[in-house]
Amino acid sequence: MFDNFLMGISVVFQFKGIIAIGIGVLWGTVGGMIPGINATIAMALLLPFTWGLDPAVAVMMLSGVYCGGEYGGSIPAVLIGTPGTNAAAATVFDGYELHKQGKTGVGLYASLLASVFGGMFGAIVLVFIAIPLASVALAFGPAEYFVLALVGLTLICSLGEGNVFKGIWAGLLGILLSTIGLDPFSGTPRLTMGFLSLTDGLEMIPLMMGLFAVSEVFKEAIDITGEKEKFINVKLDMSFPSWPLIKSWIPCGIFGSSLGVIIGAMPGAGATVASFLAYTGVKKWSKNPESFGKGNPLGVIAPESANNAVTGGAMVPLLALGIPGSNSTAIMLGALMIHNITPGPMLFVNNPEIPYGIFSALFVANIFMLFVGLICIRFAVKVANLSKPVLLSVIMALVFTGSYAYSGEVFDVGLALFCGLIGLAMRKGNLPHTATVLGFVLGFIMEANLRRALIISRGSYWGVLFNSNISTVLFSIALLSVLWALLRPIMHTSVKNRKHEAAV
Amino acid sequence: MFKKNDWIFGLISVAVGVFVLFNIETLRDIKNSMDPTGPAALPSIIAWSMVGIGLLHLFASLYLARKEGEKYEASDDTKKSKSIKPVVNITLASVIFIFLLPIVGYPIAMPLLIAAIMISVGVREKKKILLVSTLTSMILFVSFSFGLKVDLPLGFFESLF
């Protein structure tokens, strides 16, 4: 293990490794700062640039974007009360209040220090958890892998807001899209509708960029048309917080980071859930809960440490099991698959430079983030106020160029556009396109392993689901998570009714 | 959990499910002892699930509509059709870009697309449109063509490179 660590460190500390991480962190931070672009979109936009690179360098660059993107969202959250990313939404409550009170430096540096702390914390935990988990995962056969993919999907679908069936439907759509093309077992074309370009299946890059970036452009285009461009001139108070003040933030940072790692390791939960839970948790256990929402720095520390610690936690299922727990790690999985590398337990044996490179890259990325953050916040007002129409056109240009460049086919440009329209329709219909992307990514793993497992069980589905203790436990988790998601709204309504009746 | 206008989602869901079932009809016979399920199994499970979810939403929506006296507001639809104008414009510009790209090449098609998108979202300053579209296209062309060695379509400029 120590040798592998040294290998990972040597990959990171090569000139191109350092440059890749630096560019990644800078791109992610700037992307996160711009409302409408989150870590996932920033990663998706950078994806076409990674296929000329070594797989390890490519993944390190994306790790840098992931870290930077999660942090960058907090800058506009503090400065203009608009979160750059969903995960930074909880930072607005106290960060923007601090800014309005003239304590801009406290708000911005609190978010930077908490993000670096959370990121480092997540990376350390990743080192200790991922490898033992990978050795457990070696006991997995096709049946277990199929059920594991099923668990990932059901957790994601059941976490969908409001209507659990829409979450399930979106996940099913993703799996369905993954079945387009030649059948991996019989070589028969499926659902290609006569398009030759579809025989190889749908390309991941145009699909992801379409669903995330193009649909976001459409949404923003609807929102901004007719509005005048807004500009804001705020004089930043750049004074760095004192050490006693920073020291008082540490327990809150540890709490937020721990929560972030746990939630990050759970497929489907993600940085937004982590940051809101950390914020509510800190507020609940604070001696002074009424100060939250009125400019308490702990209201910035908790969500920011949590959403950055998620980066380490989310890598655990990706690297150890090959299951992406979030959109960002789904893109990371896509990047690895583009380079013909399959994450999972064997990754530690076949390509140790990748997981160990990621461990080291996360540390380096967080150190970079400190410096990039210090520079970025000085220019934050200007960048966060970048004219939206310009931004939208540049995003579309980048998406179309990237889609074409990947396959050299105009068809993929059309695919990105089509996926963008589907993404917009899904947003309007409250269908989580997160579930679709994860369904698409997990679809191939699911089908290939299901069919392998069915061959072993001689066509018995029962034999697949209850093949071993692992598959039985995992299937029970999948079933319980769906049942819980179905019953939760009913229980919530009945409790509400009872309270209402009691009040009457 | 369910809403009154979920019938739209229900109809789409049933339509997608039926479309998939119709498309995989010919694949049902491709099975052998080494692959007992065949290529139609998973799409078929998904399609039936989609039909089921769609029907559930249709019935739930009908039930809610009946319960609330079928009060559908027509004004909402007109509002929506107005608001999606920039999406229609951007989509049209993108479709034209897709057709033009192999003919006129990237250096001409991309600035036109960027300009069209900027106009679609309300930018009227000609200088700004010209500057952003030319500069962005140039940066992207140089980074992809020379940096990443991607063969972007050149159209009229084929002889120059």
Q: Which residue in the set B35, B137, B143 is minimally distant from A455, CB to CB?
A: B35
User: Mind telling me how many Å the CA of B69 is from chain A's nearest CA?
Assistant: 23
Phi, psi of B31 (to 5 degrees): -145, 150
Element of type H or E holding B63 = helix B41-67
Q: Collect all residues of chain B within an 8 Å Cβ-Cβ radius of residue A424.
A: 87
Q: Which of A168, A195, A400 to mutate to test the interface with B (most CBs of B within 10 A)?
A: A400
Q: Taking CB atoms and an 8 Å limit, are A186 and B144 in contact across chains?
A: no
Q: Which residue in the set B6, B30, B85 is minimally distant from A186, CB to CB?
A: B30
Q: What integer pLDDT is reported at residue B87 of this predicted model?
A: 92
Q: What integer pLDDT is reported at residue A464 of this predicted model?
A: 82
Q: What integer pLDDT is reported at residue B148 of this predicted model?
A: 64
Residue in this structure with the two tokens 């499926």, named with its chain if needed: A190
Residue in this structure with the two tokens 């976490």, named with its chain if needed: A159
Alpha helices in A101-214 (DSSP H): 104-137, 142-158, 164-178, 204-208
Of all residues in chain B, the one with the smallest CA distance to A404 is B152
Q: Strand A181-182 and strand A189-190: pairing? A: antiparallel
Cα separation, A31 vs A88, in Å, equals: 13
Of all residues in chain B, the one with the smallest CA distance to A399 is B140
Q: Which residue in the set A179, A185, A424 is minimally distant from B35, CB to CB?
A: A185
Q: Tens digits of per-residue pLDDT, B33-80?
A: 677 778 888 899 899 999 999 999 998 888 888 877 655 544 444 444
Q: Exposed, middle or buried, A90 (CB in 10 Å: 0-12/13-18/19+)?
A: buried
3-state SS assignment for residue A191: coil
Q: Which residue in the set A164, A222, A413 is minimally distant from B98, CB to CB?
A: A413
Residue in this structure with the two tokens 């296209």, named with its chain if needed: B137
Q: Which of B16, B42, B108 to mutate to test the interface with A (most CBs of A within 10 A)?
A: B42
Q: Tens digits of per-residue pLDDT, A295-314?
A: 889 999 999 999 888 888 78
Name residues 182-211 of chain A within 8 A of B (Cβ): 183, 185-186, 188, 190-191, 193
Percent of chain B topping pLDDT 70: 86
User: Mind telling me how many Å the CA of A311 is from chain B's nearest CA?
Assistant: 28
Using a CB–CB cutoff of 8 Å, tell me whether B88 touches chain A: no
Q: Taking CB atoms and an 8 Å limit, are B35 and A421 in contact across chains?
A: no
| SS3 annotation, A342-380 | CCCCCHHHHCCHHHHHHHHHHHHHHHHHHHHHHHHHHHH
Cβ proximity of A18 and A60 under 8 Å:
no
Q: Collect all residues of chain A within an 8 Å Cβ-Cβ radius of residue B57.
A: 165
Of all residues in chain B, the one with the smallest CA distance to A176 is B43
Q: Taking CB atoms and an 8 Å limit, are A176 and B43 in contact across chains?
A: yes
Q: Exposed, middle or buried, A448 (CB in 10 Å: 0-12/13-18/19+)?
A: middle
Cβ proximity of A439 and A153 under 8 Å:
yes
Give the CA angle between residues A494, A498, A504 to the nearest 5°.
145
Phi, psi of A189 (to 5 degrees): -70, 135
Cβ proximity of A334 and A205 under 8 Å:
yes
**Cβ within 8 Å of residue A462, ≥6 positions away:** none
Q: Taking CB atoms and an 8 Å limit, are B148 and A389 in contact across chains?
A: no
- Nearest CA among B57, B97, B154 for reference residue A430: B57
Name residues 3-22 of chain B within 8 A of A (Cβ): 3, 6, 8-9, 13, 16, 20
Cα separation, A291 vs A293, in Å, equals: 6
Of all residues in chain A, the one with the smallest CA distance to B36 is A459
Kindly list the distances between the CA atom of residue B140 and the CA atoms of A208, A308, A405, A409, in Å, as whole numbers in the listed order: 20, 31, 11, 17
- Nearest CA among A382, A452, A64 for reference residue A236: A382
Element of type H or E holding A182 = strand A181-182
Q: What integer pLDDT is reported at residue A375 of this predicted model?
A: 86
Which DSSP string do the residues of B94-160 spell out, in sequence order? HHHHHHHHHHH-HHHHHHHHHHHHHHHTT---HHHHHHHHHHHHHHHHIIIIIIS------GGGGGG
pLDDT tens per residue across all 504 residues of chain A: 667 777 777 777 888 888 888 999 998 888 777 655 677 778 887 887 777 778 888 888 888 898 888 888 888 778 766 666 767 778 888 888 887 787 888 888 999 999 999 999 988 888 777 667 656 656 678 888 888 778 777 766 655 556 778 888 888 999 999 999 888 888 888 888 888 888 888 887 788 778 877 888 898 888 775 554 443 444 556 678 888 888 889 999 999 998 888 777 766 556 777 787 788 778 777 888 788 888 889 999 999 999 888 888 788 778 777 777 677 788 888 878 777 777 776 777 777 777 788 888 888 888 888 888 888 887 775 655 557 788 788 888 888 988 888 778 899 999 999 999 999 998 888 887 767 877 887 788 788 888 888 888 887 888 888 878 888 988 898 888 788 777 776 776 777 677 777 766
Using a CB–CB cutoff of 8 Å, tell me whether B37 touches chain A: yes
Cα separation, A251 vs A298, in Å, equals: 10
Cα A207 → chain centroid:
16
Cβ proximity of A114 and A257 under 8 Å:
no
Give the Cβ contact number of residue B131 at 10 Å: 12
| SS3 annotation, A417-471 | HHHHHHHHHHHHCCCCHHHHHHHHHHHHHHHHHHHHHHHHCCCCHHHHHCCCHHH
User: Mind telling me how many Å the CA of A21 is from chain B's nearest CA?
Assistant: 18
How many contacts, defined by CB atoms under 8 Å, are there between A and B?
169
Cβ proximity of A8 and A357 under 8 Å:
yes
- Residue scoring higher pLDDT (A235 or B84): B84
Name residues 97-136 of chain B within 8 A of A (Cβ): 97-98, 101-102, 106, 110, 113-114, 117-118, 120-123, 128, 132-133, 136
Q: Which of B94, B97, B123, B142 to mutate to test the interface with A (most CBs of A within 10 A)?
A: B94
Q: Tens digits of per-residue pLDDT, A356-398?
A: 888 888 888 888 888 888 888 877 756 555 577 887 888 888 8
Kindly list the distances between the CA atom of residue B80 and the CA atoms of A153, A219, A426, B119, in Å, as whole numbers in the listed order: 32, 13, 15, 20
Q: Which residue in the set B46, B85, B98 is minimally distant from A414, CB to CB?
A: B98
3-state SS assignment for residue A272: helix
Phi, psi of A182 (to 5 degrees): -70, 135
Cβ proximity of A358 and A352 under 8 Å:
no
